[in-house]
Amino acid sequence: MRRVANGGRDEFRAIGGLGVWTLALVLPGTAWPTTLIVPTDYATIQAAIDAAQPLDLIIVEPGTYTENLVLRSDLRVVGRETARTLLRPQSAQFPTVDITLASDLRFSNFTLIEAGTAIEVAASTGVMVANVVFDSVRDIAIDVNESEVEIVNNVFFDNRIAVRRNTVAATVTNNIFRSNASTISSLDLLIDNNVNVEANCYSDNADLSVGGTDTGYGRNFVLGDPLFADPGARDFHLRENSPCIDIGVGTDVIDDSVADAGAYGDEFADARPFPVDPPVLADASTASTVGILVDWEPNLSYLVTSSVLPGGYLLHYAQGTQGPPYAGDDAGGGTQASPIDVGNVSAYTLGDLAPLTSAPPATRLLTAAGFDQSAVLAWEPVNGASGYRIRYGQSATDESEVDTGKVTTYTVTGLVNGSEYRFAVSALAQATYYVAVTARDSTPARHESVYSDESAIEIGEAAEGPLSNELTALPERTAAYPVLPNQGGACFIATAAYGADWQAEVQILRDFRDRYLLTNALGHWLVQAYYRVSPRAAHYLNGHAALKPVVRWILTPPTVIALFLLGSTALVKTGTGALLALLIAQRYWRPKRSARTPPGDAAQC
């Protein structure tokens, strides 16, 4: 127990520990302290505060909570993990945390974000604010009015005013002040902002000194970049060689050394390392074995990544089942069960794996439409498929094959126009491995982070399912009808919009013209009018490629109508709905191309 002079704070610390149980035993009518879990027991932090009895402990699990809290006496409100337990105000017009007329309470292990005023303490005693990160508070991080407060082991990062107090009964110890407009200030000019200010770290604060004085900073201060691990990710652990390590008052519960300044260095510190990012997985198989290269960004805390006494990482994996838990047991030829202690590295190969696969069920081929030297196929997806294989030929489907990847539409190219082809599709399935990484520090307790987000990879020999039904398609080059003389190589609006006259939408519109418009006088007049205006419009469209998606969107309704009116064609008989889905997917959910002219425009226009 660290002794701090004045105000019964020693007794308060005792009440926060074993003292609560002693009091519950010896004082008549005293209830046993209870631990309330948010959001397990109560959906909100405030609901837990309202339901709590004196001496209760409220534990808040990691997550983002949007609330304005009003704290009460004789409570401890503690985040499970400082970096991942975020509190932002529902209304920034009010303090995120209001402590008024309260006594003997601790608020700790949170990260406060998006606040106007983060914590306001008024007319209160025995209050402790510890192990809190104040990130980019717009007005005041902690505003103390006529109160006895311990402000200990916090991080004040990029705030307008870090601490404002009108009494030296608010002590400021073991904190890190980085990139604030003002560190410690007071509206009372008689307040000496060096008093009860001790063992803090200062770096890059606009006021350059505590309270704007020439000497300011208090006692036993340190100047210099604290070397936060990753402030952009709100990881305010300290890197190796940080000047804020082992400079505080008291004991660091994480490694049982002298306290660090900042949110991770005293008796109430959250001991869990910050989780690493999701690992990157790559196929590391050889001709004889299956392997996965796992690569991750290291945790930069000095207790994990140290040149003197490093921590390390555990690699967790499983085949076929997402975790946690990760119960893989086939790495290393069955000798490396999950998790694997990989030591102080940031890349590791899961080698000599034994992937297990079973053949997926059959898919159903929906459409096969012939175009110029090509055919467009569409089929139903199969759950668990890692890809698909198209088998095709003129006499039988076993003459050629192509693997398509994880898609359900594909264009087979290199076909001979005027020759009918037979097509069938099979689903492929590979084993899927799921991998996550945890970081461990170098202390005797080997504190471990939570799992990283998991990554997945499909790997190993693919098992092929049965073939689908067969469909045929006749590749052929399309030509404008009727042939228009003296067009000088011009093209038409639909061809310009879709990029080539063999695109599915252009052929549908052409078939609709031939079957419905050219068979009557009114339709023939409409076609001739279109031919008169279309070349000039197409020329303009080709010069303004950004308009093509808009024109395609405009042409979609008439294309859909034409497709249904052409319902007696073989194309629609084999799956109008599927072809329609194919058209929409191709035009509106395909990856963006570069700003260059789409393939086919130059050749067709």
Residue 406 has a pLDDT of: 92
Confidence of residue 547 (pLDDT cuts 50, 70, 90): confident
End-to-end Cα separation, the chain, in angstroms: 83
Mean pLDDT, the chain, whole residue set:
85
Average pLDDT rounded to a whole number, residues 137-143: 98
Residue type, 562: A
Confidence of residue 37 (pLDDT cuts 50, 70, 90): very high
C-alpha 561, offset from chain centre: 41
Confidence (pTM): 0.71
Select the more confidently predicted residue: 488 or 37: 37
Q: Parse the chain into domains and list their residue ranges.
A: 9-258, 280-357+433-460, 365-432+464-473, 493-604
What pLDDT digit, counting tens, does each position of 575-603 carry?
444 455 455 545 444 444 433 333 333 33
Burial of 209 (0-12, 13-18, 19+ CB in 10 A): middle
Task: For 365-432+464-473, give the CATH class.
Answer: mainly beta
> Quick one: CA dihedral 492, 498, 499, 503, positive or negative?
negative
What pLDDT digit, counting tens, does each position of 239-251 carry?
999 999 999 999 9
pLDDT at 479 over 50: no
Residue 548 has a pLDDT of: 79
Residue 575 has a pLDDT of: 45
Residue 71 has a pLDDT of: 98
DSSP for residue 287:
S
Residue 210 has a pLDDT of: 56
| Overall fold of domain 280-357+433-460 | Immunoglobulin-like (2.60.40)
pLDDT at 539 over 50: yes
Residue 191 has a pLDDT of: 84
Residue 212 has a pLDDT of: 47
Q: What's the CA angle centered on 172, arms 166 and 177, to 5 degrees?
A: 105
Residue 384 has a pLDDT of: 87
| Window from 7-21, 136-150, 165-179, 556-570 with minimum mean pLDDT | 7-21
Confidence of residue 264 (pLDDT cuts 50, 70, 90): very high
Residue 602 has a pLDDT of: 35
d(Cα 341, Cα 358) in Å, to the nearest integer? 31
Residue 514 has a pLDDT of: 67
Residue 574 has a pLDDT of: 40
pLDDT at 409 over 60: yes
Tokens of 514: 């031939």
Q: Report the DSSP beta bridge partners of residue 125.
A: 103
Fold: same for 280-357+433-460 and 365-432+464-473: yes
Backbone φ and ψ of 561, nearest 5°: -60, -45
> What is the number of alpha carbons within 13 Å of residue 250 lying toward its C-beta?
25
Count of beta carbons in the 10 Å neighbourhood of residue 466: 12
Nearest to 188 by CA among 144, 153, 152: 144
d(Cα 587, Cα 555) in Å, to the nearest integer? 11
Nearest to 63 by CA among 44, 35, 41: 44
Residue 533 has a pLDDT of: 74
What pLDDT digit, counting tens, does each position of 394-404 carry?
999 999 999 99
Q: Read out DSSP for 86-137?
A: EEE-S-TTS-SEEEES-EEEEEES-EEES-SEEEEEES-EEEEEES-EEES-
What pLDDT digit, counting tens, does each position of 492-533 carry?
677 777 776 667 777 777 777 766 776 666 776 777 777 777
pLDDT at 369 over 60: yes
pLDDT at 274 over 50: yes
Residue 518 has a pLDDT of: 64
Q: What's the CA angle centered on 381, arms 378 and 385, to 5 degrees?
A: 125
Contact 421, 459 (CB under 8 A): no
Residue 253 has a pLDDT of: 94
d(Cα 604, Cα 499) in Å, to the nearest integer? 8
Residue 563 has a pLDDT of: 74
DSSP for residue 359:
P
Tokens of 302: 């000095």
Residue 486 has a pLDDT of: 41
Residue 221 has a pLDDT of: 94
pLDDT at 430 over 70: yes
